[in-house]
Amino acid sequence: MDEAGFADSWTCRFADLLQKHFEQAGLSLTANQIQQFTKYAVELKKWNHKFNLTRIIDDEAIITQHFLDSLCVLPWLPLADNGSGIALEESLEPKWHVREPGAVRVLDVGTGAGFPGIPLGIYRPDLRYTVLESIGKQVRFLHHLVLALELSSVEVLHGRAEEIHRQEDHCGTYDVVLTRYVASLKKSARYCLAFVKSRGYFIAYKGSDISSEVQGAEQTIRKYGGKVHDVHQVRPDRTLVLIQKE
């Protein structure tokens, strides 16, 4: 089999694997989204050879540990089309106000190779995303990826969160701020909450046993205007900490 034939064969296998895992997770995909996620995997593998963007390069692991893990926050994102609230978790308050598509702003702090912001931008293009990264090689990859995937709802921002959060265009301007990197909740709350609008949310992706980390960060969270709203374990190895900006 020549190189082109091998690439076509891999693309078909990956697309089938992608659909299988998304269906198991209860998520449907359009033909365009299948194409975008598949191209994302292709570009991630290609760039990873030169820049070591991620240690996760197995096809199935890319789908489950990058794509689907990024999307586990979907039930807590506002529905911009009807403004009905955080639809899949009726216990969460307050309800989101009615917004037109594109009006809800989401910031992904320390996005690395684009997680969770890029998968969310593919799956929920009705929201506006800013993916923030400080490392140059990753920023170059993100710019390339946004163009390659034609993600008009995603903006790439190069800089350090500790500095960017002080800028007028970014301070207190986001409805939702996400982090999926390894910084402690106590440390990240200091600047992540500064990005959040009043009554908006800072949502941190964490591991399994985080009770002591949450408890140790509560004083800092309150100091910077937040309150732990919910701690929700979405999988055995993934917990979301939802902090509301008061």
pTM: 0.90
Write out residues in the chain with pLDDT < 50, as ranges: 1-2, 6, 81-95, 97-98
Q: pLDDT tens digits, residue range 142-165?
A: 999 999 999 999 999 999 999 999
Q: 161-180 burial, b for 16+ CB within 10 Å, e for fewer? A: beebbeeeebeeebbbbbbb
Q: Tokens 């760039």 appear where?
A: 47
| Pair of tokens at residue 36 | 């975008």
Q: pLDDT tens digits, residue range 170-206?
A: 999 999 999 998 789 999 999 999 999 999 999 999 9
Class of domain 71-245: alpha beta
Long-range contacts of 32-37 (CB under 8 A, 24+ apart): 33/122, 33/123, 36/122, 36/149, 36/150, 36/151, 37/63, 37/67, 37/119, 37/122
Pick from 71, 128, 78, 135: nearest CA to 103: 128
Residue type, 188: S
Question: What three-state secondary structure class fits 146?
Answer: helix
Could you tell me the residue ranges of all domains in the chain? 71-245
